[in-house]
């Protein structure tokens, strides 16, 4: 290398874990900015973009930020001034880095929507000398609206780079034995903490419009596969798959989680546990939609006992799973 050659870092591998995203704060403007980016993604909303942008900007972004802000305020970690999803994703990256303990493997995290962005983190890793890049979308069950849109943004980021890194993406891990074992351990931990026997365990996954499934999205099948593998660990407790967080008037994957909560007490199932295997970190969908709204609806409908099992978050089992997934792709 000649004396006047610019310094180049090289020889390292970047590991980027990517979650959905979060607003920067609970303010109306920050919530609106986040929702605009999220709901403008054509992988998420498969509607004619000209029509959808009118609906989004004139109606949804006028009224929905206030409702969403209220939900975030219920679960916001005020002492850390961040959402639980941001906190746990950052903690996962730090703990994974510590577990890997290799100066040639640099672990970082990004969000598909909001901050820190995928593009900024890929650029950062390249400047650190990462010639290889492993992307781990934190969605165990692949869907076009989650994993695929992470891939889209990764590819768009690489299109801007003169020197592109080698790329590997881990697309899904819904049946990975360590993942199933980690879910089982979280269920066992919760059962050991309660004084009553659950009549049923609800495995609630984020929903998608049914037409996405009809077009060939494998998400529905992956969710049922995960539930089946968890169920095989239990002979005395039924585990039922449901789908939550539907948006808009069209039909989504069924059965719906909220309608199931309302119906269960009438069927004699008044003591339930709820787990959300598709969420890698607790977030507004688990802590507010399920733990607060879901529980309230279940009790109001005649239920007696309702407990939410925390997501795997930054638990040792979860970090070990990530390390295993990464090790298979280095």
Q: Which DSSP letter does residue 256 get? A: B
Q: In what order do the strands lie in the sheet with 166-169?
A: 105-114, 12-22, 130-137, 166-169
Proportion of the chain above pLDDT 70, given as a percent: 99
Q: How confident is the model at residue 2 (pLDDT cuts 50, 70, 90)?
A: low
Provide mean pLDDT across the span 122-138: 97
Segment 250-263, tens digit of pLDDT: 999 999 999 999 99
- Structural domain boundaries in the chain: 12-173+317-327, 177-308
Domain formed by 177-308, architecture: 3-Layer(aba) Sandwich (3.40)
pTM summary value = 0.96
Q: What is the mean pLDDT of residues 49-72?
A: 97
122-134 mean pLDDT: 97
Report the mean per-residue pLDDT for the chain: 97
For the segment 92-121, the average pLDDT, to the nearest whole number, is 98
pLDDT score for 8: 76
Mean pLDDT of 141-155: 98
Structural tokens at position 45: 């909303």
- pLDDT, residue 18, reads 99
How many CA atoms does the CB half-sphere of 289 hold within 13 Å? Answer: 23
Shared fold status for 12-173+317-327 and 177-308:
yes
23-40, pLDDT tens digit by residue? Answer: 999 999 999 999 999 999
> If you average pLDDT over residues 295-322, what whole number do you get?
98
What is the per-residue pLDDT for 203?
A: 98
d(CA 23, CA 29): 9
| Mean local confidence (pLDDT), 287-308 | 98
The predicted-structure confidence for 203-246, as pLDDT tens digits, reads as follows 999 999 999 999 999 999 999 999 999 999 999 999 999 999 99
The pLDDT tens digits of the residues spanning 172-212 come to 999 999 999 999 999 999 999 999 999 999 999 999 999 99
Name which of 120, 128, 115 is nearest 157 in CA terms: 120
Does residue 1 register a pLDDT over 70? no
Q: Give the C-alpha separation, 285 to 276, whole Å.
A: 9
pLDDT band at 287 (very low <50, low <70, confident <90, very high): very high
Q: Are 131 and 11 in contact (CB under 8 A)?
A: yes
Structural Rg of the chain based on CA atoms: 21
CATH architecture of 12-173+317-327: 3-Layer(aba) Sandwich (3.40)
pLDDT band at 310 (very low <50, low <70, confident <90, very high): very high
């Amino acid at each position: 290398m000649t004396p006047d050659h610019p310094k180049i870092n090289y020889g390292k591998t970047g590991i980027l874990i990517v979650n959905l995203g979060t607003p920067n704060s609970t303010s109306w403007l920050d919530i609106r900015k986040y929702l605009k980016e999220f709901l403008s993604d054509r992988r998420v909303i498969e509607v004619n973009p000209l029509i959808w942008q009118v609906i989004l900007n004139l109606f949804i972004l006028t009224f929905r930020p206030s409702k969403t802000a209220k939900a975030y305020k219920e679960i916001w970690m005020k002492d850390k001034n961040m959402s639980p999803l941001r906190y746990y994703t950052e903690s996962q990256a730090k703990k994974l880095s510590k577990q890997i303990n290799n100066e040639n493997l640099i672990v970082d995290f990004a969000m598909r929507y909001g901050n820190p962005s995928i593009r900024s983190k890929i650029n950062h890793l390249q400047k650190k000398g990462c010639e290889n890049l492993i992307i781990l979308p934190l969605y165990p069950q692949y869907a076009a609206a989650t994993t695929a849109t992470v891939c889209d943004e990764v590819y768009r980021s690489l299109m801007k780079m003169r020197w592109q890194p080698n790329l590997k993406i881990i697309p899904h891990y819904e049946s990975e034995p360590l993942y199933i074992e980690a879910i089982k351990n979280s269920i066992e931990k919760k059962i050991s903490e309660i004084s009553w026997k659950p009549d049923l365990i609800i495995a609630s996954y984020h929903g998608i419009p049914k037409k996405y499934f009809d077009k060939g999205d494998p998400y529905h099948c992956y969710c049922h596969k995960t539930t089946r593998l968890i169920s095989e660990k239990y002979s005395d407790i039924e585990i039922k798959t449901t789908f939550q967080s539907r948006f808009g008037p069209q039909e989504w994957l069924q059965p719906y989680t909220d309608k199931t909560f309302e119906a269960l007490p009438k069927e004699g199932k008044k003591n339930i546990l709820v787990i959300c295997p598709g969420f890698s970190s607790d977030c507004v969908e688990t802590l507010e939609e399920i733990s607060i709204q879901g529980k309230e609806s279940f009790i109001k409908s005649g239920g007696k006992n309702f407990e939410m099992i925390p997501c795997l978050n930054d638990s040792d089992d979860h970090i070990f799973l990530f390390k295993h997934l990464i090790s298979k792709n280095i």
